[in-house]
């Protein structure tokens, strides 16, 4: 994909006149990423991918702020799965929402996001490393920023990210996340539906017993969460519980088959 720097400058600022992305695109294959680039020109979000078996690593760059002469951007690593996407398309948990007929569910993407890693928290979880919350580009520093980002990415791959790219390891980490009751781990792992994603990945790996165990635990956690959120409103609590029970019934019936 050819980079349209004129369009990209709307979100990334005038600094897109420097070949920052072209240099990054050229060097990323040295650490296993494809040099194919995906750009959402409306939001300015940029992605590079690295395929590892079923799990696909997604390196995301997002513009944060721009001023004359410099541009800040943040970094995120995502874990996508084609298997999870296909499984959820079969289960269709969104049909449990009574408002399903009135909203559009976009299932056009080829893979499902399993989890995200906050790059800043990940790197700073190592004692001897320091990573800025955002990277800053200037006309005189963009080459150094590419090298800094590449070194930090290489370190993160070798010391954490590649290990997490195993479906079984990632599932275990998602279970720990769900059981902790936190939104993310201290090293930045987060997921929109941690325990369900973990269970369905394990089922795909052939561990149906563990998947069923997780779904039972996930149902309990979700009902407890509903009660904390809607305990003051009996009607809303009943609706939320009906949706939860319907969705987990779908998950359990799928795993049992």
Q: Is the pLDDT of residue 16 over 80?
A: no
Q: What is the pLDDT of residues 95-115, one digit of tens each?
A: 999 888 788 888 888 899 999
Instruction: Report d(CA 24, CA 33) in Å as an integer.
Output: 10
Q: C-alpha dihedral over 138, 139, 140, 145, to 10 degrees?
A: 50
Instruction: Report d(CA 206, CA 255) in Å as an integer.
Output: 10
Confidence of residue 201 (pLDDT cuts 50, 70, 90): very high
Q: Is the pLDDT of residue 20 over 80?
A: yes
Confidence of residue 1 (pLDDT cuts 50, 70, 90): low
Q: Which of 57-66, 123-132, 246-255 has the highest mean pLDDT?
A: 246-255
What is the pLDDT at residue 110?
A: 87
Q: Is the pLDDT of residue 84 over 90?
A: yes
Q: What is the pLDDT of residues 210-251, one digit of tens each?
A: 999 999 999 999 999 999 999 899 999 999 999 999 999 999
Kindly state the DSSP code that residue 99 receives in the 8-state scheme. T
What is the pLDDT at residue 112?
A: 93
Instruction: Report d(CA 144, CA 124) in Å as an integer.
Output: 20
């Amino acid at each position: 994909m050819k980079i349209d720097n004129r369009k990209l400058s709307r979100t990334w600022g005038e600094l897109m006149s420097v070949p920052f992305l072209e240099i990054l695109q050229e060097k990323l294959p040295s650490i296993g990423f494809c040099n194919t680039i995906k750009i959402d020109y409306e939001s300015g979000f940029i992605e590079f991918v690295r395929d590892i078996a079923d799990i696909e690593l997604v390196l995301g760059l997002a513009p944060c702020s721009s001023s004359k002469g410099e541009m800040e951007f943040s970094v995120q690593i995502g874990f996508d799965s084609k298997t999870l996407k296909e499984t959820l398309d079969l289960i269709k948990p969104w049909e449990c929402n009574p408002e399903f007929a009135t909203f559009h569910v976009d299932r056009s993407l080829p893979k499902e996001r399993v989890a995200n890693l906050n790059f800043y928290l990940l790197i700073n979880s190592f004692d001897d490393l320091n990573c800025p919350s955002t990277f800053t580009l200037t006309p005189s520093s963009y080459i150094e920023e590419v090298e800094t980002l590449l070194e930090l990415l290489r370190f993160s791959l070798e010391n954490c990210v590649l290990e997490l790219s195993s479906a079984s390891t990632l599932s275990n980490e998602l279970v720990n996340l769900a059981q902790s009751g936190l939104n993310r781990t201290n090293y930045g792992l987060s997921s929109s539906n941690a325990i369900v994603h973990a269970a369905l990945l394990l089922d795909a790996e052939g561990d149906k017993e563990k998947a069923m165990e997780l779904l039972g635990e996930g149902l309990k956690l979700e009902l407890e969460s509903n009660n904390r959120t809607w305990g003051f409103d009996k009607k809303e609590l009943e609706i939320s519980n009906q949706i939860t029970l319907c969705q987990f019934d779908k998950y359990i019936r799928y795993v049992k088959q």
